[in-house]
Amino acid sequence: MSPALIGGLGMAVLLLLIALRVPIAIAMASVGIVGGALINGWNSLAFVLGSQPFATVFPYTLSVIPLFVMMGVFAAHAGLSRSLYQAIYSLIGHWRGGLALATLGACALFGAICGSSLATAATMARVAVPEMRRHGYDDRLSAGTLAAGGTLGILIPPSIIMVIYALLTEQSIGRLFLAGFLPGLVATICYMAAAYLVARYRPGAGPAGARVGWRERAKTILGVAPVLILFIVVMGGMYTGVFSPTEGAAVGSFGAFLLTVLTRRLTWRVFIDSLKETASTTAMIFMIFIGTSILQYFIETSTLPRLLNDAIVASGMSRYMVLAVILVIYVILGCFLDSLSMLLITLPLFFPLVKSLGFDPIWFGILVVCVVEIGLITPPVGMNLFVIAAVVPGMQLRTVISGVTPFIMADLVRLAILVAFPIISLWLPSLMK
Amino acid sequence: MTRLVATLRALAQRLANAAQALLLAAVLVTIADIALRSVSNAGVPGTVDLMQLAVMWSALLAIPAAFLTDEHVAIDMFTKALPMRLQQALRLFALMLAVAALALMAWYGAQQAWREHTAGDSTQTLGFPFGIYWLPLLLGLALSSIACLALAGETLARLWRGEPDPAPAAARDPGA
């Protein structure tokens, strides 16, 4: 059997093991071990098994992951979601669908200090859904808004998935964060347009709220200051070169911890729960990294990436057509796989191809994060759908799925905009020193 | 067997929580380093070495706890409609794969660590021996392998007695 055939069979077995509920890290390591032994023999594999896991988890750059996880965990406990929501609501709550728009704006701001989509969705849902129900909002609009708004957490920097993309593809974390800023804004605007259109054309779905006076507006906007300060310190420090990304993440996690103290939310229980959540999330990520390191050795020695590249060149497809195919594959995979595994399984195959086609790796990274976001709100395994159904009392999963459809359309429009205008992603990084 | 798993779970969780204290300490050292650098040219020496050490211990010692609480990412959408016994058989298969893969990595990792230890490798700034960076990886992998073996024993016993598994942990997506 040729190495390429073993490589192809290995990828099929990997998907089968994942479908049989083998933990993804273990599925990747197992396929890597068996495939690696078949292609390269046991001695070579033994060396890789001994050295590769350590080489993967040792680099200093990886430190940024637990620190941004910790920042997100403390930010979610700091009780800032209500003040963010009230601030945006005071400005636009009196519009039709204004509460939904306020929720999306608050999600975007919360995403600026929390790199987790699930935490953003869960935290904002607890604040926004009761308000929307009180104002007679259709549950479909409320749930769709929250599920989609949550995904802004991973596009607007800091973002854990962006860090992982940067580490895997050896790109600058700072540049990738900057690149995500304007697409995050575009995403927020697209979602707001979707929510507005639903409220406009589905009578009674999103009635207007009460208008708030300017004095009240000023007061609520002041409540947002700590979030903006933390965001500016972390991103500004990284942008100006005062901090490295790891230092920025340390400052961010310390700042989020301080915010939890200042908002008097820090109890011993919250502290221990935060540590536990940081530990388990980081452990999951590191275990997947270890599994990937073995799989990657197998994929690379199977020559599969080179064959894929050659086949695409021979097919005569234009590079944008290839990009479109890759993005469609990501959208389909996102329906069945979690974001991290999807990235780790596909990047060894797709990234060399994308680079050889002459696409900018930072721009591709933003597109990948966008399609990962779509995966978070597409059934059957869109995690945000489950989060909203789980944290909102009486919310059915089918209501969430039905409500999120207009936002998936908005995502596709946004993806098309970002593909058509790479400058949206690349302008800010081009200004970086 | 269930009692053994419960004891292991409690111990692993305490180990994981304790290891997070190192991460918190590294955050404080980094903040002190930035503060010192902003007022003088000198920062805290070896911040990079300390941060790497803290991250290795905090992340890798949390891996066994994540296995014992069933938190590692797995997709159950294709298996949850299967009969209970078939689901348990698949879980047993997954756990035995995990035992083998983790044990192999721990075994060959230990050999590599020993080679580096005898070669006297150490970090650049603080001169820490590489062994203290290897230790959490080897412990994490070996303890995870033992944890999966205990879980496999528990699953086998349930399969034998026809008892259902407790409800699994809620699915999570660490990247999201």
Q: How far apart are the first and last CA of chain B?
A: 34
Given A19, A62, A272, which is nearest B17 (Cβ)?
A272
pLDDT value at residue B167: 66
Residues 6+ apart with CB under 8 A from A235: A157, A158, A177, A178, A248
Closest approach of B176 to chain A, Cα-based (Å): 5
Q: Is the pLDDT of residue B41 over 90?
A: no
- The closest of A82, A67, A64 to A257, measured between CA atoms, is A67
With beta carbons under 8 A apart, name residues in chain B contacting A53: 105, 109, 137, 141
Alpha helices in A202-263 (DSSP H): 214-222, 225-240, 245-262
- The closest of A51, A56, A41, A52 to B111, measured between CA atoms, is A51
Report how far apart, in Å, the C-alpha atoms of A5 and of each of A15, A34, A36, A45, A247 are. Answer: 16, 14, 13, 19, 45
Q: Tell me the average pLDDT of chain A.
A: 89
Q: Tell me the average pLDDT of chain B.
A: 89
pLDDT value at residue A143: 93
pLDDT value at residue A349: 84
Q: Could you report the per-residue pLDDT of A14-52, keeping only the tens digit for each?
A: 989 998 999 989 999 999 999 999 999 999 999 999 999
Closest approach of B77 to chain A, Cα-based (Å): 8
pLDDT value at residue A114: 79
pLDDT value at residue B169: 61
More confident: B123 or B107 = B107
Percent of chain A exceeding pLDDT 70 equals 100
Given B17, B63, B175, which is nearest A339 (Cβ)?
B175
More confident: B105 or B44 = B105
pLDDT value at residue B56: 94
Q: Is the pLDDT of residue A149 over 70?
A: yes
Q: Mean pLDDT over residues B148-160, rounded? A: 93
Q: Do the chains contact at A276 and B17, CB–CB below 8 Å?
A: yes
Which chain B residue has its CA at the smallest distance from A287's CA?
B63
Which chain A residue has its CA at the smallest distance from B59's CA?
A283
State the pTM of this model: 0.86
Which chain B residue has its CA at the smallest distance from A373's CA?
B176
Lowest mean pLDDT segment, chosen from A178-192, B70-84, B97-111: B70-84
With beta carbons under 8 A apart, name residues in chain A contacting B98: 22-23, 26
Which chain B residue has its CA at the smallest distance from A118's CA?
B176
Q: Could you report the per-residue pLDDT of A285-330, keeping only the tens digit for each?
A: 899 889 988 998 898 888 888 888 788 878 888 999 999 999 998 8
With beta carbons under 8 A apart, name residues in chain A contacting B16: 276, 279-280, 283
Question: How many CA atoms are closer than 13 Å to the CA of A354, on its beta-carbon side?
Answer: 21
Q: Is the pLDDT of residue A357 over 80?
A: yes
- The closest of B94, B64, B63, B98 to B79, measured between CA atoms, is B94
- The closest of A291, A343, A298 to A53, measured between CA atoms, is A291
Closest approach of A75 to chain B, Cα-based (Å): 15
More confident: A355 or B2 = A355
